[in-house]
Chains A and B, each alone.
Chain A
Amino acid sequence: MQITVDMNLCESHGQCVFAAPEIFSFDDEDRLLYEAAPDDALLGQARKAAAVCPVRAVTVSPAAS
């Protein structure tokens, strides 16, 4: 799967970090860090993260095969 985050939209709400801590985290300056191509086992977490982002900055796409 492929994760993209529109950093122009991101306001560091943290909801994705709560929903999918294995994919998303913050650095010391509250900037979002994320794994762009996480294991497909985390798909459920990733979808939840996208669903709870208040600014809809997170997109989850299946990996191109």
Chain B
Amino acid sequence: MRTADRRELIVVGASLAGLRAARTLRERGFTGALTLVGDEPHPPYDRPPLSKRVLTAPGRPPGVALPVPHELDARWRLGQAAVRLDPVERTLTLADGTRLPYDGLVIATGAAARGRPAAEPPPPPGVFTLRSWDDALALRAALAAGGRLVVVGAGFLGGEIAAAARERGLDVTLVEAAAQPLAHAVGTTAGAYVAALHREAGIEVRTGTTVEDFLTRTDGRLAGVRLSDGATVRAGTVVLALGGVPSTGWLAGSGLAHDGGVHCDPRLRVLRTDGSVVPDVVAAGDVARVPQPLAGGERLALGHWTNAVEQGTAAAATLLAGRDPARAPGPFAAVPSFWSDLHGARIRSVGLPAAADETRVVEHDLAGRRLEISYHRAGRLVGALTIGRTGRLASYRLALEERLVPATAANAPAAT
């Protein structure tokens, strides 16, 4: 046994990525002080159910807490947003003015829901976004009132909210700026397939249009939306599902590169604006912009559940290794994956379909609820998506993994 570890480690962000990082620190033998900081008052919880069963379950809303092992032995600073990081002095400042010194820090502050542009007047009551547990409860209560729901943005989150509302018997209009839902994420074939699923379920899908304006009643409450194609849709509830924005505002003045997410090297170490490594600070999850070999090395922030788990684990390992090259883990090289459940269809994907320049449709059966598409970039496999064929994904994933592992081994000397 070593002598008592006097280091103080802080994990900023008490959601999936932060909790996984904290658990990994303990599992790998860190015995010093561990603090978790979270801007929400709630203990860690799981977000995927928020757009699914939390909205649809009858009776009381279902619990979504993530298990926190007793051995974590952490100090919790919940309901306290981090407001400032000083990586030179090695201090973190919280919203109440508390300054916490640290020896090592994990940035896992996630993302926030994208709202309307700041230049526009705030939307009227009845317009929601969905990111947090509190958001989900508010939306659940609004859906219970019935009427028509307009969902703005037909990405995976918007699609799931629309499907959940339809399951509850509401009339639903799904508004999408692009010509096809999800086209930028998974291509037009999968996008058209998902649009057909929505329409079969009785959802009105309006593409190629955006919300121009909110209509209000005399009491100021929402009455509907006016669209850019001139149409108006009457609705008592509107959800903006316009994607996420990495939560990096608190890093202003820190010297860290954080446009579009916290810039990381392949081992999840955080970078300054000049590209140099910040000692003893790592990042993970939705907030982290990490080089993606499948996207030609471009730095991407991936808002996926598995990404938060895998990066949380990997970032903790990097942090503990410190500057000891013997303990340094290799570059982060997990194959990304994501899923969505829509109208009973299980959409499952591996790799980075969004990075593809070519799609190959292997199977397409709308009635049988089966779909298999492979995605390629410069002729090489970069991803796959299936509906009702999850079993077929394993071989795609293996091929992607085999591609990533030799690539990262070749990159390793440059990363140290």
Contact = CB atoms under 8 A, between A and B. Distances in A.
B220 interface: no
B294 to A, nearest CB: 16
A21 interface: yes
A15 interface: yes
B388 A11 contact: no
Interface in B333-352: 335, 337, 339, 341, 346, 348, 350
A27 B389 CA distance: 9
A45 interface: no
By secondary structure, the A interface counts as loop
Nearest to B313: A51
- Which residue, A12, A15, A18, A52, has most C-beta atoms of chain B within 10 A? A18
A51 B391 contact: no
Contacts of A54: 46, 48, 305-306, 339
Nearest to B394: A17
B390 A26 contact: yes
Contacts of B305: 54
A39 interface: no
Sort chain B's interface into a size bin. 20 to 34
B394 A18 contact: yes
Contact of A52 (B48, B306, B341, B346): B306
Interface in B354-403: 388-391, 393-394, 397-398
Contacts of A13: 339, 348, 390
A15 B306 contact: yes
A30 B388 contact: yes
Contact of A14 (B67, B341, B348): B348
A13 B350 CA distance: 11
Given A14-B348, A18-B337, A52 B309 contact: yes
Contact of A11 (B67, B346, B389, B391): B346
B339 A30 contact: no
A28 B390 CA distance: 9
B67 A30 contact: no
A18 B397 contact: yes
A2 interface: no
B394 A30 contact: no
Interface string A26-49: 111010000000000000000000
